[in-house]
């Protein structure tokens, strides 16, 4: 177990704007894995960072840690209209991931936010907390092989065709479609990846960005061409394009490399930075390194 001095050294790397962004990402995920209030304090410091990508990832990590200590800062970030929409969205999602009843009122308030991605995120977070408090949480769920805290539980349905139908039905509540999404992810076959990739053409940018995220989790090459296509679309939401880039880095197939290199100088800063991080992820996946969040090891 690391002592406070090691956490300080890792935190210093995370907060050092002069360091390369991929190195700071590795420090962030090291702190996430270590957990505790000191780690959270360092992550919180980064919400004043110039990089929206890093701040969004900080909010994501706080949600995955599921520590109530992070709630006050996440509420502050959600409410801060000067923050980038993707940062505020991730703060709302993190509050849903922590899942405390105490945040429901603020989530309901921001479920009507003028920024649609923030509003939809808060609506999903409210539904997740409702689900946690309901009898439905006792339903038999498929095991999540990815160990992530997701904005919706997987569906109890396991028929691929029906799941795909629900995924693409834009008349259904977003929470139900998310449940279908995570079931298709957990199935993790070429067919389920291709079914998910069709969601990259749906109307909601939030939905498309989550599709890209789960395709990256799956690391299934079947979705590569669709991810490339959305990354290349200049009129696509930066939130979606950035997630497509990171997914390609996670999949780390040879055919991902050139695309990531091509867009590592993109005019959209969050896309450019995502490609830098994705290229680091690509190198990690191609290497024999034991773990991505390796800052503690490098300190030693």
Q: Give yes or no for residue 111 having a pLDDT over 70.
A: yes
Q: Give yes or no for residue 1 having a pLDDT over 80.
A: no
Pick the CATH number of 144-300 from 3.10.310.10, 1.10.760.10, 3.40.50.300, 1.25.10.10: 1.25.10.10
Q: Which of 37-51, 192-206, 282-296 has the lowest mean pLDDT?
A: 282-296
pLDDT of residue 292: 75
Pick the more confident residue, 138 or 219. 219
pLDDT of residue 300: 55
pLDDT of residue 296: 59
Nearest-angstrom CA–CA distance, 153 and 181: 9
Residue 150 makes CB contacts below 8 A (sequence gap 6+) with: 97, 144, 178, 182
Burial class (CB in 10 A: 0-12, 13-18, 19+), 240: buried
H helices of 99-173, where? 104-109, 116-133, 160-168
pLDDT of residue 271: 98
Nearest-angstrom CA–CA distance, 222 and 232: 18
Model pTM above 0.75: yes
**CATH code linked to domain 1-138:** 1.25.10.10
Q: Which two tokens stand for residue 237?
A: 């939401």
pLDDT band with cut points at 50, 70 and 90 for residue 141: confident
pLDDT, tens digit, 9 for 90 and up, residues 119-131? 999 999 999 999 9
Average the pLDDT over 41-61 and give the result. 98
pLDDT band with cut points at 50, 70 and 90 for residue 289: confident
Average the pLDDT over 153-179 and give the result. 97
Q: Give yes or no for residue 28 having a pLDDT over 70.
A: yes
Q: Residue 18: how many CB atoms within 10 A of its CB?
A: 5
Q: Could you tell me what percent of the chain has a pLDDT over 70?
A: 95
Domain parsing of the chain, residue ranges: 1-138, 144-300
Q: Do domains 1-138 and 144-300 have the same CATH topology?
A: yes
- Average pLDDT score, the chain: 95
Q: Which two tokens stand for residue 128?
A: 């997740």
Q: Give yes or no for residue 137 having a pLDDT over 70.
A: no
């Amino acid at each position: 177990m690391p002592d406070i001095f090691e956490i300080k050294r890792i935190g210093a790397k995370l907060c050092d704007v002069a360091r390369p962004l991929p190195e700071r990402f590795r420090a962030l995920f090291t702190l996430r894995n270590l957990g505790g209030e000191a780690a959270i304090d360092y992550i919180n410091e980064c919400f004043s960072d110039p990089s929206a990508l890093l701040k969004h990832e900080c909010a994501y990590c706080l949600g995955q840690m599921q520590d109530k200590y992070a709630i006050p800062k996440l509420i502050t970030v959600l409410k801060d209209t000067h923050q980038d929409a993707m940062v505020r969205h991730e703060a709302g999602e993190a509050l849903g991931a922590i899942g405390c009843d105490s945040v429901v009122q603020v989530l309901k308030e921001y479920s009507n936010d003028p920024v649609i991605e923030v509003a939809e995120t808060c609506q999903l977070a409210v539904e997740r907390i409702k689900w946690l408090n309901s009898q439905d949480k006792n339903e038999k769920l498929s095991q999540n092989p990815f160990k992530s805290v997701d904005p919706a539980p997987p569906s109890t349905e396991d028929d691929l065709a029906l799941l795909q139908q629900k995924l693409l039905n834009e008349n259904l509540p977003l929470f139900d479609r998310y449940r279908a999404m995570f079931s298709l992810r957990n199935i993790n076959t070429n067919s389920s990846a291709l079914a998910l990739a069709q969601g990259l053409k749906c109307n909601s940018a939030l939905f498309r960005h989550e599709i890209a995220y789960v395709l990256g989790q799956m690391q299934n090459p079947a979705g590569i061409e669709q991810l490339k296509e959305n990354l290349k679309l200049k009129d696509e939401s930066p939130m979606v394009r950035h997630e497509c880039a990171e997914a390609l880095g996670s999949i780390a197939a040879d055919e991902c490399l050139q695309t990531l290199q091509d867009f590592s100088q993109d005019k959209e800063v969050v896309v450019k930075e995502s490609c830098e991080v994705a290229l680091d992820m690509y190198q990690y996946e191609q290497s024999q390194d034991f773990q991505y969040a390796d800052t503690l090891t490098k300190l030693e």
